[in-house]
Structure 1
Amino acid sequence: MLKIFRSVRQRLLKENKFKNYFLYAIGETLLVMIGILLALQVNNWNEVRKTKVQLNNTLSTVVNDLSLDTLMATQIIKYYEANQKNSLRIINKEITLNNYKECPSCASLITLYKPFNIQTKGYDILKKITNQQIDKKDSLITDLSQLYSLFLPMLQKSNDRLENDVLKNLESFKQYSWFVDWTQQKFNSEMITYFSSSEDYRKKVAAHNLLASRNHLLIVKSYKANAKVMLERIKTRLEDE
């Protein structure tokens, strides 16, 4: 193409057709500019397409993360609802020396916990690409980022509180003569009396229940509900693409 342009220019100059030469030169310049603009536009289209593919792949990863989260949340919720039910039996003095065998897990209500750590593989990738190229007016991406920004620190704090409380309770049990038997799930009369009738244990159960059922459980339930909404929105987006 460049050889053709050069040949035409040389012929016009040899024939002293300066007016035609200048007109041709202007036309040639316009053609070159149009070519550059078209190349830039095609490049932009390619970049948009690549970005869209990258975003969709990332959203697919987020879907996997949220799906795992909702499954884990269901297990966590089930565990803490059972924990809450048994905790209330201790708090309301429904467990006695006569019926303690009805609640074998009542002796470990405050020394076990289930942390909830949400999956962030997709979100970590999403943060990188949104900082670079994704339209920040995309409501789906904005709401998804807000979901993680809100619940990640909230769940981490809740996990930490439960862990600290469990460790504190375990430490307090070491003072009792039945501690070793308790670790081996061997019950004796002194231990049974403590877990069924002790006001100290009742207070500890009440305190742990506040952290577990009134706080951690509610956060997990809230996250699960919001995660399910986001899952449906992402799936709809991917199906429409």
Structure 2
Amino acid sequence: MIKFFRKIRQRLLAENKFSRYLLYAVGEIFLVVIGILIALQINNWNEGLKERATEQSILKQLHSEYQSNLAQLDEKIFMRNEALEASYFLLEQIDHPANIEENAIYDAFWKLVRDPTFDPIVNDIVGSSNLRLIRNDSLVRLLSNWSSEVYQVQELELQYQKFRSEILAPAYNRLGVSRNVNDAVWKDGYSPPEALDKKNSVKLTIDQSPRPMDLREVLKDVELEGMIAQAITYHQVTNIQSGTLRDRILEMLELMEGEID
């Protein structure tokens, strides 16, 4: 093709037909420009296909990760709801000590010292150039805000973690109920809600303390009553924030499903 155009140019010059040569040269330049534009268009189209394929891969990975995050968050909300029920039960036992339920009290004490912490899968998509490949602006906004919203929930969880470690657990030791609480947990077999293998029920032999335990006297402890009330506030506030976070996950999953082919 190049030789063909060269021969035409040489013939026009040899015949002294400069005006025609000039017109031909302009036409040739025009064809070259059109060829370049077509090549660029094809290249952009190919790059677009690659980017869309990458976007689909990212969306599918994110969808799987946020489904896992949702399952874990629901697990933590469930644990806090159990702690809330346990707290209200203990306050009922404090208010009406004539109906003491020993095993249920130990079970409730245990549910208050569990430590539900949300630890979602961390994806580096927000901090990378791949975020621009996601075309849904609403999804990009939610992904960009995700880390800060998770942090707000984790901040509350850390406050309770400190409360149960520095205040609640030492109170159990002071009141002398820790051994009996742990015996009640394990004696019939126990699998924590957060366990990796929830089918694995473990039994341990601890046995209750040989010292006599008067739970009515334990429940008269003013500090313990305050701690139980404080646990209600901690768990209720954290669950409110977790509920908002759950809504965010559901919204993101819905947007992802709308974008995935």
**1:166 equivalent in alignment to 2:188:** no
Q: Calculate the aligned-residue CA RMSD, in Å.
A: 2.7
Alignment of 1:65-144 (within 5 A): 65-92=65-92, 93-94=94-95, 96=97, 98-121=100-123, 124-129=124-129, 132=132, 138-144=137-143
Aligned length: 234
| Alpha-carbon spacing, 1:150–1:8, altered in 2? closer, same or farther (3 Å) | same
| Alpha-carbon spacing, 1:106–1:179, altered in 2? closer, same or farther (3 Å) | closer
Shift of 1:235: 0.9
Structure 1: which amino acid aligns with 2:152?
M
Is the 8 Å Cα contact of residues 106 and 181 (structure 2) preserved in structure 1? no
| Alpha-carbon spacing, 1:180–1:209, altered in 2? closer, same or farther (3 Å) | closer
Aligned equivalents of 2:134 and 2:68: distance in 1? 26
**1:178 equivalent in alignment to 2:176:** yes
Task: Flag as ranges the 4+ runs of structure 1 deviating above 4 A.
Answer: 130-135
Aligned equivalents of 1:133 and 1:237: distance in 2? 12
| Alpha-carbon spacing, 1:224–1:180, altered in 2? closer, same or farther (3 Å) | closer
Which of 209, 212, 217 is the aligned partner of 2:232? 209
Is the 8 Å Cα contact of residues 96 and 197 (structure 1) preserved in structure 2? no
| Alpha-carbon spacing, 1:189–1:216, altered in 2? closer, same or farther (3 Å) | farther
**1:24 equivalent in alignment to 2:24:** yes
Structure 2: which amino acid aligns with 1:54?
T
**1:69 aligned counterpart, secondary structure:** helix
**1:103 aligned counterpart, secondary structure:** helix
Is the 8 Å Cα contact of residues 51 and 134 (structure 1) preserved in structure 2? no
Aligned equivalents of 2:134 and 2:248: distance in 1? 23
Is the 8 Å Cα contact of residues 86 and 108 (structure 2) preserved in structure 1? yes
Is the 8 Å Cα contact of residues 171 and 224 (structure 2) preserved in structure 1? no
What CA deviation, in whole Å up to 9, does each residue of 1:44-76 have, x standing for no partner?
222222222212211111111111122122222
Aligned to 2:242: 220
Shift of 1:80: 1.3
Aligned equivalents of 2:103 and 2:166: distance in 1? 26
| Alpha-carbon spacing, 1:7–1:166, altered in 2? closer, same or farther (3 Å) | farther
Shift of 1:114: 0.9
Structure with more helix by fraction: 1
What CA deviation, in whole Å up to 9, does each residue of 1:216-235 have, x standing for no partner?
22222222233123212211
Shift of 1:26: 0.4
The answer for unaligned runs of 5 or more in structure 1 is none
Aligned equivalents of 1:169 and 1:40: distance in 2? 68
User: Taking structure 2 as the reference length, what is the TM-score of the superposition?
Assistant: 0.77
Aligned equivalents of 2:212 and 2:115: distance in 1? 26
Is the 8 Å Cα contact of residues 69 and 119 (structure 1) preserved in structure 2? yes
Aligned equivalents of 1:194 and 1:222: distance in 2? 40
Shift of 1:133: 5.3
Aligned to 1:236: 258
| Alpha-carbon spacing, 1:38–1:192, altered in 2? closer, same or farther (3 Å) | same
| Alpha-carbon spacing, 1:194–1:5, altered in 2? closer, same or farther (3 Å) | farther
Deviates more, 1:56-65 or 1:214-223: 214-223
User: Taking structure 1 as the reference length, what is the TM-score of the superposition?
Assistant: 0.83
Structure 2: which amino acid aligns with 1:13?
L
